Amino acid sequence: MYYMFSALALVSGIMVVSSRNPIHSVLFLIFAFLNTGGLLFLLGAEFLAFIFLIVYVGAVAVLFLFVVMMLNINVEEQESKMAMVPAGLLFGGVIASQLYMLIGNEFPPVSLELDNGFFNWSSLVETTGNIEALGMLLYTQYLVPFMLGGMVLLVAMVGAITLTLTDGHQGATPVLRQHAMTQVNRTIEEAMYLRDTK
């Protein structure tokens, strides 16, 4: 798993700087972050792995993607959409296999064995992992700051989408907007008219 994660991280990093399409570069950057998070998870640093995924994948990479969307870069697509299906299936299979290898393997069951009349009670102690302890603390004591942080990210996302919908770019398609007061104040003469079909 170490060689697989590190090889995919290196290949994704090379593809970030060698891809001509900026959107593809951002997607490869997200894939590199995912593989680096997998490496941290293998090291036993679950907290760092999940913080790495949340901060870098959820914030930095999405911010890059919003910037690419806002710049309205016209990229000439040389291949059709169907030509990207094998690449999508390949990356989907790789990510599914990584998730199966990380999560699908169950831990061996605890065996109740007696060794010379001595019972090993330490094998029955339920230890709380880092992620479970962090979740209990985050969703109980720090619930309000956590929800406020989510609201800030939601407002930022809505603001970025609103900025990308403006029709200030040259050659961009005008955005259809609804004017409620104009529709309410419209009279029947403005709404209906007769046309001679001859």
Q: What is the pLDDT of residue 172?
A: 55
Structure tokens at 5: 């994660």
Q: How do 118-119 and 114-115 pair as beta strands?
A: antiparallel
Q: Provide the residue-wise pLDDT of the chain in tens; the chain has 198 residues.
A: 888 888 988 999 898 888 887 778 888 888 888 888 888 888 888 888 888 888 888 777 777 777 776 665 555 444 455 667 787 788 888 888 877 776 665 544 544 454 455 666 666 666 777 777 778 888 888 889 889 988 988 888 788 777 766 555 555 555 666 778 888 888 887 777 777 877
User: Measured between alpha carbons, how far is 47 from 41 in angstroms, rounded to an integer?
Assistant: 8
User: Measured between alpha carbons, how far is 13 from 3 in angstroms, rounded to an integer?
Assistant: 15
Which amino acid belongs to residue 59? A
CATH of domain 1-73+86-106: 1.20.120.1200
Q: What is the pTM of this model?
A: 0.49
User: Which residues 6+ apart lie within 8 Å of 15 measured at CB?
Assistant: 24, 25, 28
